[in-house]
Structure 1
């Protein structure tokens, strides 16, 4: 599926204005439904879909190509998902919805280095969110006035390697596809099930698993998942996720929702 190109009404004699497709990655169905309703009512925007976890977010981005992707910071505390979304579709705009616990200079500088285009509080009022979407679309960079002071005086020019924050952020050694495979391994899926979900051959999945084990210096699949959680490559579900499966050492969390996403 290609990027949506739905026109909205323009003044007579003017060419159609393409509306922006907006998607959200957030664990709460109630929050997602509220954003969907708000976007649907806003001229110049249309709802492109939602996802409740990183794997589903990557599927949504690959198949629907939203113009704007709103990401809950609880799902992406290290900027790994933002980086994969941006590298997978350079035209997409990633805006982080920042939880109170992540309102820190390290977090904000980290997500900017990862490639996020904007950030605003997750609790922001609807009008501020709409403004953030429009400003990000115009300038490809937006920080809510509440968050801007935390990002530092050089926030507009941050590039990978320009800040000590880059050295402190957990490193993402995996490719986009390896990251998806590892998340599904963490859900307890075998290679055949992973291949079916990702539209890959079983042999390709097996190759990705071998690469993951090598890159993480892991003995087996369970060890790889444990290392990934310990090093921040994978994260436990945010506290307000309906299915909150916190991993324990040596055990993979399970959830039927890992591969789910909803397009418009």
Structure 2
């Protein structure tokens, strides 16, 4: 997780024309840098930081409190991360950058039910991204016209209570902190290392691990990780393939240690 030196929602007051803090959650460094460049050259916006994986995204939201998070759909195909983000901070606006593989009615409804406020194609031009940020800030909902036909709604909004296909609200059996702990367990970290990263005591981490095992009906840590990947609670780090092509075999489990070591 990398944080900007710019003031965030937590530290700024309410001066006239306060700029919006924008953060990105994307596994690809040059994509994050591109988003940062767009934000920093746009009046009224400032860059609040970035994360490359789900547990770093939750830390970013907790510590920096950006106004808007731009979230790569490849990191949240089932809506679990979106749900944890908006539950942790109801004022946070989540804008999904939708990969071609997720341009479906089912995915958009899952995102809506999880609490996403806006969605636009990940391949959109910079001006479309800026428009989406401004529209979602004003209306708290926005759906790019390129995605609207998928929902059968020509209105530009992700409207709660207007399902387009029969689906169920994403189920996340773990708490926000348990999800972060399990992410780090999946990276092969022991309790002491997890405690250091999440600023928790080792005993607290041990308690979270026990709770994870109970909730997932897992025999041990390895079994819990296996269950979580099979059930979609955890995902493999998405490959950044050219848009329009089908991703290859599953990538390695997410690794966010470089993000933390840089801090």
TM-score range normalised by the length of the shorter chain: 0.7 to 0.9
Matches within 5 A, 1:155-234: 156-159=158-161, 164-166=166-168, 169=170, 171-234=171-234
CA deviation after TM superposition for structure 1 residue 6, in Å = 7.7
- Contact 1:99–1:121 under 8 Å retained in 2: yes
Partner-residue secondary structure (3-state), 2:168:
helix
Q: Structure 1 residues 261 and 90 mapped into 2: Cα distance closer, same or farther (>3 Å)?
A: farther
Q: CA deviation at 1:173?
A: 0.4
Give the match for residue 12 of structure 1: none
Q: Which residue of 1 aligns with 2:74?
A: 74
Q: CA deviation at 1:4?
A: 4.7
- State the shift of 1:151 in Å: 2.4
Aligned-pair RMSD on alpha carbons?
Answer: 2.6
Answer whether contact 2:152 2:164 (CA < 8 A) is retained: no
Give secondary structure in 2 for the equivalent of 1:81: helix
Please tell me whether the aligned partners of residues 86 and 92 of structure 1 are also in contact (alpha carbons under 8 angstroms): yes
TM-score with structure 1 setting the length: 0.86
Q: Aligned to 2:95, what secondary structure does the other structure show? A: strand
Q: Distance in 2 between matches of 1:240 and 1:78?
A: 18
Distance 2:136 2:128 in 1: 12
For 1:54, the equivalent position in structure 2 comes to: 54
- Does 2:12 correspond to 1:5? yes
- Cα 1:31/1:148, change in 2 over 3 Å: same
**Quick one: distance in 2 between partners of 1:132 and 1:104?**
19
**Distance in 2 separating the partners of 1:209 and 1:164:** 34
Whether the 8 Å CA contact 2:109–2:163 is kept in 1: the answer is no
Gaps of 5+ in 2: 1-7, 242-248
**8 Å CA contact 1:55, 1:258 repeated in 2:** no
Aligned 8 A contact 1:56 1:261 in 2: no
Q: Structure 1, residues 222-263: CA drift from partner, whole Å, max 9, x if none?
A: 00000000000000000129xx9835xxxxx47353753989
1:221/1:82 Cα in 2 relative to 1: closer, same or farther (>3 Å)?
same
Say whether the 8 Å CA contact 2:71–2:97 is kept in structure 1. Answer: yes
Q: Does 1:150 align with 2:157?
A: no
